[in-house]
Structure 1
């Protein structure tokens, strides 16, 4: 079971910031072989959902209130350390993120930009695809929403 912490950018310790950025880079840049600018200036206005196992960050998302990324509340930068995925921590970190949006922003409608190969994972969490496929950093994505 993951220990979940939700923090503002200012509340993150230097170690938590470093570890979460390292995990994001490990997955989005190295594993997915995608050169892109992860540090996009949006971390300062998001809430960070950290999933700890044995005091190490192994899962992460960042969430936004409506208007800060999309018109709706949103979840992004969803990652689980590769050697921990077999335990289905993606569901734990996403459920915690959905709950955090409800608790912190009093919102239930959520919009995400999902990598297409994860469509079924997000369907299982109540997200429905809308619109057409599009490329983001040369990776096929689809917009999905959850009411």
Structure 2
């Protein structure tokens, strides 16, 4: 029997926005959440605002935006390299308070939907820790490269080919960290 996880709070405010649509407060809170996970929690010193934010779609969920850390899930989508027929998803995170409650699952569902709406017919590519391979495979992603070392983490590249009418698989269990570089 597969373990069961609770569904995320239905009152979460999910958004998929272009850079120009994000308010200054939302941008600040997104960058704060990314720094909290990628720089502080994972002890990886790097420049997080890397020049791709302005041409990306930002998918995120926030609870009470007046709180200091309301962004509970986030992912960034952008076109692959020049002429690439794929969408790249990176900066994927869930806040420590929302891990193991289905929030990561809801985030990936929304990422796939946003990619399909913005870039129909394109494959989706991401990098993920080896330990999360099963999580992403439940959404139709398949390993296409790796493992290799990325900032001290054993990482693989995964691709989800474009498919019409794909029913999203449900995944079970606890995701401790959902992070892509």
The alignment's TM-score, normalised by the length of structure 2, stands at 0.75
Residue 100 of structure 2 aligns to a residue whose secondary structure is helix
**C-alpha distance in 1, partners of 2:135/2:52?**
25
Residue 86 of structure 1 aligns to a residue whose secondary structure is coil
Residue 92 of structure 1 aligns to a residue whose secondary structure is helix
Aligned residues: 147
Q: Deviations over 1:75-121 (max 9, x none)?
A: 11111110111212011111101000111111341111112222121
Shift of 1:68: 6.4
Query: Structure 1 residue 74 and structure 2 residue 84: aligned?
Result: no
Q: Which has the higher contact order (CA 8 A, sep 6+)?
A: 2
**C-alpha distance in 2, partners of 1:70/1:58?**
30
Structure 1 segments, 4+ long, off by >4 Å, are 68-71
- Give 5+ residue unaligned stretches, structure 2: 1-9, 162-181
**For the aligned residues, what is the CA RMSD?**
1.8
- Give 5+ residue unaligned stretches, structure 1: none
Q: Which has the higher strand share?
A: 1
Shift of 1:53: 2.6
Residue 3 of structure 1 contacts residue 53 of structure 1 at CA under 8 Å; is this kept in 2?
yes
Q: What does residue 143 of structure 1 align with?
A: 157
